Amino acid sequence: MSSFFSKKCEYGLQAVLYLAAQGKSSLCSAEEISNNLNIPKEFTSKILQDLTEKGIIISRKGRVGGFKLAIDASQIKLIDIVAAIDGLDIFKNCVMGFHNCNGNQKCPVHKEWMEVVEKAYRMLSQRSVDIFNNIPLDHF
């Protein structure tokens, strides 16, 4: 089975967590984030642009510009990043990809999958990105 999130969402989560680890006053360039997280630079720039439009991060232009969190890390829940990039439909869709799997007509793993999804949603809704504030940068 592939990842629960899209690759774009995985990278977006990593980028925001990387910014949280930098502290609230540090600006990081897209190139720095790209290099440290091993994400293609063009993809990184697009993800950062999307996160800026959603108000999760802010950008400063210019020679000493870059990106940083828009608000305190404790105020950004992991679910906010997922919602900004992938949306929340992933918490409603069938893991097997059956379009007709729903409350009335369930696939064989529907019940167990919904338990996993609900647990993941709760965790992502409860945890904020400040959990990475004290992570050493070489962790990334």
Q: Is 88 helix (H, G, I), strand (E, B) or coil?
A: coil
Q: What is the pLDDT of residue 138?
A: 62
Could you tell me if 54 and 8 are in contact, meaning their C-beta atoms sit under 8 angstroms apart?
A: no
Burial class (CB in 10 A: 0-12, 13-18, 19+), 123: exposed
The percentage of the chain sitting over the pLDDT mark of 90, rounded to a whole number, equals 57
> DSSP of 91-121, one letter per residue?
GTS-TT--TT-SSSS--TTHHHHHHHHHHHH
Mean pLDDT of the region 88-93: 84
Could you tell me if 47 and 57 are in contact, meaning their C-beta atoms sit under 8 angstroms apart?
A: no
Q: What is the pLDDT of residue 140?
A: 61
Q: Which of 90, 86, 88, 66 is nearest to 18 (CA)?
A: 66
Q: What is the pTM of this model?
A: 0.86
Q: What is the pLDDT of residue 1?
A: 37
Q: What is the pLDDT of residue 128?
A: 94
Structural domains of the chain sorted by starting position, each given as residue range(s) with its CATH number in brackets: 7-133 (1.10.10.10)
pLDDT tens figures, 100-132 = 887 677 888 888 888 888 999 999 999 999 887
